[in-house]
Structures are given as C-alpha cells and as structure tokens.
Structure 1
Amino acid sequence: MSSYILPPPSGSKIIIVGAGAFGLSTAYALSLKNKYEIWVFDRDQIPIPDAASTDISKVVRMDYGAATQNMQLMIEGLPIWKQWNKERKAKGKTPVFYKTGAVFFSQNNKYTDYSAASIKHIREAGYGHVIEELTGKDIVDRFPHFKGAVENGYNLAYLNKEAGWCDSSEAIKHIYEKCVNNGVRFVLGPNIGCFEKLYQQGNKVLGIQTKDQKIHYSDRVIIAAGPWTAGLIDLGDKLTATGQIVVHFKPPASSIFSQIKNQPVWSADPGFYGFPMTSEGKLKVALHSLGYYNQRTSDGKSVPRTQVTHRNDTIPIKALKEFREFLSKFFPQTSTMDVHYSRVCWYSDSQDSNFLVAPHPNLENIIIASGDSGHGMKFLPVVGLKIAQIVEGLDTDYSRAWGWREVNGSSAAFDAMRAGKSVDLKPLQLEDPNNDETRMCTATDLKATISKL
C-alpha cells in the first residue's frame, strides 16, 4: 500500500502523541524545518518512567545481519551520537554514547548465520576496519570475565569496535532539551497530557481529546506512543505490545566484573545480551524474545503492564529460570548473586520487525510512527529525520520499508537475533491463572540459586 500523503502546509499545527524515542526524535526533526507549530503530548514527565527508552542503557550497533537498511541507518546515526557527546561535554555533562565495542558470540567455532551476514555486509559497506574476529583465546585474553562462556562453547566471536551503548534516559533528556530550544511545545501530565481518543468528523481526524476532556485541534496527528499505540488506535494486527525481560545484578567488589575495565556490550544466542557494569555497580542482562502479552479483557489487545501501575511487578518465574539457566553457562559468576532489580520492558512489535511509519489507510490526517520491535532507541538521533520525510509525503527507501503493509508467509518473522523467532509461536499471557510459569517472581525467587561462599 502506498505511504504517500500530501505534506502539511507551512504553518500547520502538528500534534505528536508520545514523548519517547520516536516522538521526540520526530518533534526535533520537524522543528528544524522552522515552519510548523509542533505540540507533544504525554501522560507523564520526561523521561517517561515506564517508556522503553527510559533505561540505564541501550545497545548502539550497526550489526543487523542481512537487514542492511538498518545497518545504513545506524551508520548515518553514529556521527550524530558523537556530536551529542561534544554538545554535552561543552555543558559539563556526561556522555550519552559510550563506544565500548560490542562482542557478538557464536558457539562451537562456527559463526551464526546472523553474525556471518553482519560481518559480510559491514565489510561490503566499507566498514571492515571496525570488525575484529576473535578466537576463544582472544576473547579470554581481552575480556577475562567471558572465560566461563568460552569454556561452555561460546568460543568464537567478533568485535565491532564502533558499537557500544547509550545512556538512554540521558539521551532522551538531551533531545527533549533540543526540542524545547527549537520551540516545540509540550503538554505533560496524567490529565492534561494523556491521550484519550482522536477527535474526528467521520474519517477526518481534526485533533485529539485528552483525559481532562479538552479537545486539541491540529492539522496533523502523529501517534508515536510506542507499545501503547496498538491499544489506542485500531491497527488490526499490524502492531502488538510484547513484554521483554530485563534484570540487573550488583556484583560485589571482589567479583571479576568489578575488576575488569573496558568491558564491551555483548550478544549471544538464544537472544540474550548485556552491558558493561555501570559506575553505580549495576550489571544489566536482557533477553530479546517472543516475550509476554498483557491482554485486556475488553478486546484482547495486549497493552503494557508496568511498574508505574503495578509497583510490585518483577518478571515471570519462567523468564527467571531461563536467565539462570543461560547465565549458569555464560556468566557462572552470577549464580551466587541475587537479582538486584528486574522489570518487564515493552516493545511495539510489528509483524516483520520493521518500523511502522505510515498514514493510517482509513483515517485522514493521522500518521502512525511506531513498531520499534525492540530496536528503536539506537536510532534516536536519526529516525525522526526519516519520519519527518514521511510526514511531508516524500517517497524514500524508508517510507517503502516502513509503510502500511501486508506481511504473510515466510516474511512474517521477527529479526534473526530474537529467541523463538517463529510466528507459529505466541507470547505467554502475564499472570495467567492457569499457568504458574507466568506469575511474577517474589523477592525469595530472585535470591541467588547457589549459596554465597
């Protein structure tokens, strides 16, 4: 289906619903044009406490297997991450991007198809100099905290020296400040900023109504509400909210994690990835998988269930078991560590892991900008520039890839880094009374599986 739309006339008022990565990046990109009145609405203060973008870290990588368009987008975004670091340094602030490198592990001396494709396409793009292939001995010599992983079969890897991680909450604050400086207006709060419904006449959208029942007129509405999007607007089966698992450990001072400097980001099948230990002593590990649903009773749509509304939520017991089993081989040192913190982080999953940025086919004056599928934050500096082109009706490689589309057959699959990729499998329902594995872990469950000696 064509993603073409007439561009908004100069002077148009554009409302963006959502102040996460996509919403703020789009607001900033549109503000650079200096010809629109841009308003952003959200139900909380920035950074939004339960947004996926509000976190201590997110991976920044160009490694995308055969998905070369994402690789090129990251190549375009990396210089902007570095520019933002310069801007922050000039103001005496900490960096938002840390170029630690990223190690992509394979098992049994054979690269995964994903790693092999990533190496191939990165080299063909002219960036072969950032790739360093590592044997098991190389891995242990360079990064001794991976010794257990190597001994348990993760004995081949490559290092992308340009990759790293972003301080995602600080990055959100940084682009928010840039938006404010460019005249973007914000309406934030649980009543005045909380989207309730579209305001429309027939199929023509004239604005939005917020929870305080006030109508806000606009010439164009952009819904960039992340995993909440599918629960706000009827999108059929185009987007689904899935909950993904994040845990933090706090290794003791005697731990190897506390002693190793220059730790990289890492990724290893099946779908696990992690980060260097932070200056606050947090070691974060996460899982990129099919995840979990939280289906509401009214229509069966999966909607985020977060610690903002369910303060005592942790992670499902099934997920904890999966983490402990994997880490017993990859990071056996964690077996004596309690899980210090855990949460369910929500994705807006599209059917093929490409973003969904397109005019709604049945409504006028509205654009959907969502479908992060768990890999949106790294593109914060650049994704809004591409979304702005779509808002203005330009036909681009991105408008075609991210357009309103039918996905079926072999193309209907999640990206190749995700555990449990088959579309024949379905996420489990959180807190399903008929499945004890989906219950939330207790504090006792999160204690170490092996006694500390």
Structure 2
Amino acid sequence: MSHIEGSEPDRNKKIIIVGAGVFGLSTALHLARRGYNDIHMCDYQPYHENSYACSAGCDAASCDENKILRASYGDAKLYQDLAFKAMPTPENELPPGLTPEVKLWHNCGFLRLSDGDDYDQEKEGQTQNNFPPDRKHTQYRVTDTTRRKDAQADGIPFSKIDPFDRFGKGLPFDGMLDMTAGFVLASRACAFALNLCHKLGVHTYFGPQHRMKSLVRKDNRVLGIITNDGNEHTGDIVIVACGGWTPSLLPEIEQLVETTAGSVLSIRLPTDRPDLWDKYSPERFPVWSWSMGSYKLGQNLCGLYGMPRTPEGVVKVAFRGAKWTNYAHRSDASARVVSYPKTDVDEIPEQAMQVIRTFCEENLLDLLELELERGRLCWYSDTVDNSFLIDYVPGTENLICATGGSGHGFKFLPVLGEHVVDVLEKKDTEYTRLFKWRGVPDGERNGLEEGPGGWRTLDNQKLVGREEWKRKPPQTPSADNDRTVSKL
C-alpha cells in the first residue's frame, strides 16, 4: 500500500521504539523532526548514565570507540548516495558541546587493500564509476605512480598510501585510498543524538527493567510491549530496532536475519610513546581494510580492518572475515534455536586472534609489543543479502522491524530514520523498496543456511585473550614456508 498523495498521517499516534542504537535513535530523531509528538524509546542499557561507552559495559554494536564512514559500495549506488548524504559537511561536523580536540568526524581517508592477487578489480571499478564526478579526484590507486604523485601534491602524507611500509619491505599489495571517507567516534555520536532526542521531546526509558520481554499481540495487531518489570506499555505503532537481539524478539524474521559477531581488539598506546601517537594519528594514518572476502578456515588472510588512534590513544584492529554465531536462544514462538549475542566474554575465537596476529606480524609489528587492552565480540544483525530490513512485519498491521545493519549501518545515523518514517507512513520510495520485506533465497544466504551445525558457532571455538596477544619469538622460516602469511 502506498502513501496517498496529499493525505496527512496522524502524527498524534503513540509510537514505541524498542532499542536505542543507531536504528532506534535515528528513527526517534526523524519522527520528532517530522512532527510526531508521542514518541517513547526504551532500552535495557542505562545510556543516560554510561553514554554508550563500550568501556562502561555497553554491548550493542552501536557502542564503540569508532566506526568507519565510507561511501564505497560497488554497484549498490543507493547505499553510496545515502552514505554521502550522511557524511558531515564542514559547517556541521562539530556539534555544540564538542571541542576541536574531540570532534565526531575524522576525514582521515579509507585505504582498501589486498595483497594484489585478490584485489577486487570489478567491485572497485564499480565504486569508481558510481562516484560523482566532483569526488573522483579523491581516489588514489596505490600502485599507480601518477596517482601517488597526485596524492603528494594534494598534501596527503605517503603514510596514508602505504601505512604498513609494504613498498619498503618489498611485499605485494594493491588498493585504493579514498579520501572522502574516515571514521566517526561512535559512542560520542550516539550520546549526541540521544541528547538531540531529549531536546525534541522524545521520552526515554533506560535500564534493565525497561528491557522488552515480549510483544502484546491481539489478532493481527500489536497492542504494546511488556518489559522486564512486568509493566505493559500500550502504543499505536511498535518499532523493534534491537540489532542482534531482534531475531529473538521477532520470530517472523528468523530466516531473514542472523545475529553474528566480529572480533575486535583494542590496543592503547602508551603516553610515553609520542612516536606511536604520531604514527597512528588520523593526520598520518588512515582507516584501512585488507581483503574483505570470505575467510576459509585456516587458509587465508582476509576480512581485516582497523582504525587510527582515538583521542584517548586507542588503536582498533578487527576481523570480520568469519562471522561468529551463538545458537543459544530458543524462540518461544517458533521453537527454533536462533543465534543470540554473547556479551559476557572479553575474549575472541582463537582463529580470529591468529589471523589478526599474523597480519600484525607483517604489517603492524609495533602493536604486538604493547598490551592488549580489550578483546571483545561485536554483535550485528546480518540479513540474507546484507541489505537492511525495514518494513511492516507481514500479517501485523502496526508492527515494524528496523534491523539488519549487517556491519555497515552505523554511518547512516544522521539519515536512516528518515526512511524508517517513510515506511511507517507507507510511502513508496526507492529506499522503502530497497529495505522492504523479502523472501528467503535458495542456496547460500550469507551464512544463514549453516544454522547451528555451522563451523562458525562459538561452541566450536576456543576463546583466547590477552595471553595470546603477547609478542612471540619470531619463527625461523623453513625452506618451503618463507612467508607465515601464506600458511595461515
């Protein structure tokens, strides 16, 4: 059903948003900006106290030191255009209350790399073809001598072309430095958005007692939600935007969305190492990724990414080549076992640690000399095709799911809610069609076809922490293995 042109939606409806991460925050902001005046947002995390800081125990995917902001999407031009729209402009990149020393948006560049053999020429070509003409000059192929000289002439330090000194070491690599991109201080951005929500009159309910326990259903309608404290909260429309917890709350999406985890390590630079603070600063070091393909168990080095240091000196290195699952929750409605976030561990799978360590041994050796501050699993909601799922739940006229961030949703915080509100108002747009409910494809479904029997499940993994990060003595290469990387 399409929105009737010229008709006005009822903006006095009471709307309940379950979840205060990026999807929930952005939805609340755009509802308020569009004139809705009875908006209620709940979450089990006390965000009003911990400001979304993962170091304070926040465990949603939105709660992080930093997140990549990039518009490189291959042939997915609608996502590219939406990402460019979400990028801060010079006049609004520094919101009130933040100083120049602690700004949200760092336009430090994004270096997409591989060892050369698996350079994704096709996808990179699609990205470059889709970029607007006035931004094409911001793209620098690292193996192109002319473009390297152009980067130098444009004032870009060579350390952003080759932060791992692979030229100096004689190691193969290829890739693209994209100077439209960078990173956002994620937790701070969420806290800032929450403050805007409060200023716009959004009612918030935070803390364990406000965790949604179940929906209240009657026939083809949802009457509201029941929270952990036993209270029932009625509403005209319920929007479930709980990230990795969504499949456990909405059985209808179990075959479309799977909760998966990436492996994230945080290394804090010592305050007495100004050389490292300078090397990993956003002014000299880019956001980077390495061979963002599928990981083959014990066989390849891929799915890695990392960030420059934060203002506090934290450098992040992460592995997303294997998307870990945790089939530990049985749905009350369907009786299926679904993957569920396991956030009570400060370790990562040994396979992930091995990949990260091997990469660092060749490219970021100085990080292995430092203490690992924290290892953790960051839980996402992955759809069958990595595209968001924002739509009314079939068969329920006033229930909307807004989920499926699939590891790339954070960057859309400023703009995503606009399209959730369009869904709510049943408008027919290119984005409501992009995010709409869809069927389950045959064959491969972004890993969902594996289920509890897949190799990625946590019960098949050995978890390791700080003890495995300590730098180990270098191994003497054997005659048939002179590169550790090739024998992962």
Same fold (TM over 0.5): yes
SS of match in other structure, 2:255:
coil
Instruction: Show the counterpart of 2:289.
Output: 267
Residues 220 and 91 of structure 1: CA distance in aligned 2, closer, same or farther (over 3 Å):
farther
SS of match in other structure, 1:117:
helix
Tell whether 2:128 aligns with 1:119.
yes
Instruction: Return 5+ residue gaps in structure 1 as ranges.
Output: 415-420
Report the Cα offset of residue 111 of structure 1: 4.1
Report the Cα offset of residue 95 of structure 1: 1.4
Which residue of 382, 385, 391 corresponds with 2:418? 385
Residues 53 and 83 of structure 1: CA distance in aligned 2, closer, same or farther (over 3 Å):
farther
Give, in whole Å, the separation in 1 of the partners of 2:222 and 2:107.
Answer: 43
Residues 126 and 134 of structure 1: CA distance in aligned 2, closer, same or farther (over 3 Å):
same
Q: How does 1:163-242 map to 2 (within 5 A)?
A: 163-191=181-209, 193-234=210-251, 235-242=253-260
Residues 93 and 443 of structure 1: CA distance in aligned 2, closer, same or farther (over 3 Å):
closer
Tell whether 2:152 aligns with 1:135.
no
Tell whether 2:366 aligns with 1:333.
yes
Give, in whole Å, the separation in 2 of the partners of 1:214 and 1:265.
Answer: 45
Instruction: Show the counterpart of 2:116.
Output: 108
Amino acid at match of 2:471: A
Report the Cα offset of residue 116 of structure 1: 2.6
SS of match in other structure, 2:93:
helix
**Given that residues 113 and 174 in structure 2 are in contact (C-alpha distance below 8 angstroms), is that contact kept between their aligned partners in structure 1?**
yes
Residues 117 and 359 of structure 1: CA distance in aligned 2, closer, same or farther (over 3 Å):
same
Residues 276 and 295 of structure 1: CA distance in aligned 2, closer, same or farther (over 3 Å):
same
Instruction: Show the counterpart of 1:303.
Output: 340
Which residue of 372, 375, 381 corresponds with 2:408? 375
Residues 160 and 243 of structure 1: CA distance in aligned 2, closer, same or farther (over 3 Å):
same
Residues 134 and 91 of structure 1: CA distance in aligned 2, closer, same or farther (over 3 Å):
closer
**Given that residues 146 and 330 in structure 1 are in contact (C-alpha distance below 8 angstroms), is that contact kept between their aligned partners in structure 2?**
yes
Report the Cα offset of residue 440 of structure 1: 1.9
Report the Cα offset of residue 135 of structure 1: 2.6
* 1:262-302 per-position Cα deviation (integer Å, ceiling 9, x unaligned): 11111111221111122322210112234111112534111
Residues 362 and 153 of structure 1: CA distance in aligned 2, closer, same or farther (over 3 Å):
farther
* 1:227-267 per-position Cα deviation (integer Å, ceiling 9, x unaligned): 10001111230111001110122345558643325111111
Instruction: Return 5+ residue gaps in structure 2 as ranges.
Output: 53-57, 152-156, 292-301, 331-335, 475-488
Amino acid at match of 1:170: R
**Given that residues 4 and 395 in structure 1 are in contact (C-alpha distance below 8 angstroms), is that contact kept between their aligned partners in structure 2?**
yes
Give, in whole Å, the separation in 2 of the partners of 1:441 and 1:291.
Answer: 17
Residues 446 and 372 of structure 1: CA distance in aligned 2, closer, same or farther (over 3 Å):
same
Among the aligned pairs, what percent are the same residue?
30
Instruction: Show the counterpart of 1:354.
Output: 387
Report the Cα offset of residue 28 of structure 1: 0.3
Residues 182 and 429 of structure 1: CA distance in aligned 2, closer, same or farther (over 3 Å):
same
Instruction: Show the counterpart of 2:376.
Output: 343
**Given that residues 53 and 169 in structure 1 are in contact (C-alpha distance below 8 angstroms), is that contact kept between their aligned partners in structure 2?**
yes
Residues 196 and 297 of structure 1: CA distance in aligned 2, closer, same or farther (over 3 Å):
closer
Give, in whole Å, the separation in 1 of the partners of 2:25 and 2:268.
Answer: 32
Which residue of 268, 272, 277 corresponds with 1:258? 277
Q: When the two structures are aligned, how many residues end up with a matched partner?
A: 431
Q: How does 1:391-410 map to 2 (within 5 A)?
A: 391-409=424-442
Instruction: Show the counterpart of 1:315.
Output: 348
Instruction: Show the counterpart of 2:67.
Output: 58
Report the Cα offset of residue 164 of structure 1: 0.6
* 1:355-405 per-position Cα deviation (integer Å, ceiling 9, x unaligned): 000000022210000000000111110111111111111111111111110
* 1:7-38 per-position Cα deviation (integer Å, ceiling 9, x unaligned): 85231000000000000000000000223310
* 1:137-158 per-position Cα deviation (integer Å, ceiling 9, x unaligned): 7499334642048746453222
- TM normalised by structure 1 equals 0.87
Report the Cα offset of residue 424 of structure 1: 6.7
Q: How does 1:271-286 map to 2 (within 5 A)?
A: 271-286=303-318
Give, in whole Å, the separation in 1 of the partners of 2:170 and 2:9.
Answer: 57
- TM normalised by structure 2 equals 0.81
**Given that residues 136 and 150 in structure 1 are in contact (C-alpha distance below 8 angstroms), is that contact kept between their aligned partners in structure 2?**
no
Residues 245 and 255 of structure 1: CA distance in aligned 2, closer, same or farther (over 3 Å):
farther
Residues 169 and 297 of structure 1: CA distance in aligned 2, closer, same or farther (over 3 Å):
closer
Instruction: Show the counterpart of 1:418.
Output: none
